[in-house]
A = this chain, B = another copy of it.
Amino acid sequence: MTDATSLDAEQLRAYLTLKEVSSLLDHAVEQQLRVDGGLTGPQFGILARLNDAPGGRLRMTDVADGMVYSRSGLTYQAGQLEKAGLISRSPAEDDERSVMVTLTAAGRERLGQVMPGHIEVVQRLLLTSLDRADITAITEILGRVRDRMRTAPPRSAAPRRRA
């Protein structure tokens, strides 16, 4: 068991490598999205999430939950996307507080316009370097990490609804 207040060289390297790869990939992806479809990363994320959702509809909160993104940022980007006609917002029927976001036909089209390039970038930058075993390993290991992160209460935890 290592001292909780230190990282050994190997741990540090793993952490930094993860950070670096993700940054580089992100950056390249955002370039492509901007060039191919005039979308920012978050905008693409929103559209993609809606596209995967049944009926192309989600509550604002549900959109935000998947992405690591502030509420106010989402409001802003939803405004941009609505202005561009790629999504529409409407009050939810069952809960007056909620706002439903719906992918429009134009939104779906824009997504189709951008996807090939997006996939190409991910293929070229990330997947070229990975064989099947690598992919399995990454998914398994990082999936475990994600689950723990999502589960773990933040330092100043908001108390669970009960208990």
Contacts of A146 in B (CB 8 A): 17, 20-21, 24
Take A27-B68, A146-B24, A152-B125 as given contacts and tell me if A6 and B138 are in contact as well, using a CB distance cutoff of 8 Å. Answer: no
> Number of contact residues on A: which range applies?
35 or more
Interface of A, secondary structure class, is helix
Total identical chains: 2
Contacts of A158 in B (CB 8 A): none
Complex contact B68–A5 (CB within 8 A):
no
Residue of B nearest to A135 (CB): B14
A96 on the B face (CB < 8 A): no
A62 on the B face (CB < 8 A): no
15 additional A-B pairs beyond A22-B22, A24-B68, beta carbons within 8 Å, are A7-B123, A11-B122, A13-B143, A14-B130, A14-B135, A15-B126, A19-B22, A19-B26, A28-B149, A32-B155, A125-B145, A125-B148, A128-B148, A130-B141, A138-B142
